[in-house]
Structure 1
C-alpha cells in the first residue's frame, strides 16, 4: 500500500465537483484536513489515481498525485488528522 498526496486547483470553482470528492472518499483510508489536499492509501499507481480523479476534472483544472512517506512535519492539524498522519506516513 502506498500513501499519495492528491492536490488540485479547480479552474471553475462554481462547477459541481461532487464526483471528485466521492472518488477520493472511495479509498479505504483517506485524509482531508487542508482545502485542496487529500492523502489516500491505495494499491493503485499514481497514474491510476490521476486517471481516476481526472474523470471528474476539465481542461482548466490542475492535479498532482505524488507519493508521500515519513518523515513528515505538520502544524495546526487536529489530533485526529495528526494521528492518521503518524499511522500512514
Structure 2
C-alpha cells in the first residue's frame, strides 16, 4: 500500500552531505516525489512506516542535523501554483 510522507530537514554540520540525503529521500520514494520547498520533500512510498524511511536517511545525518518525517493523509492544503497542485494531486495522491 502506497503512503505519502512529508520529509523536512536541516543539515547543520560543516560539510553537509546534501547529495546523499537527497538521494536517500528519493530512493525511499516509489519514484514519485516533489520538492517545491527548501529542504523538504513530499514523497509517495511503499514503506509502511516513517521509521523505515528514517533508517534509509539516517546514515547520512550528523548528530546536530534535524529531520522529521510525517505521514500525510488526504487532508492537506497549501499554497502552490496550479501546475504544482496538479502534480501533487495526480501523481503523489
In 1, distance between residues paired with 2:77 and 2:83?
A: 15
In 2, distance between residues paired with 1:85 and 1:34?
A: 13
User: Which consecutive residues of structure 1, in runs of 5 or more, have no partner in the other structure?
Assistant: none
The residue aligned with 2:71 is: 67
Q: Is the 8 A contact 2:5 2:43 kept in 1?
A: yes
In 2, distance between residues paired with 1:9 and 1:74?
A: 21
Higher helix share: 2
In 2, distance between residues paired with 1:80 and 1:54?
A: 32
Between the two proteins, the alignment pairs up a number of residues equal to: 88
1:35 aligns with 2:35: no
Q: Give the secondary structure class of the aligned counterpart of 1:40.
A: strand
In 2, distance between residues paired with 1:86 and 1:17?
A: 27
User: Which consecutive residues of structure 2, in runs of 5 or more, have no partner in the other structure?
Assistant: none
Q: CA RMSD in A?
A: 1.7
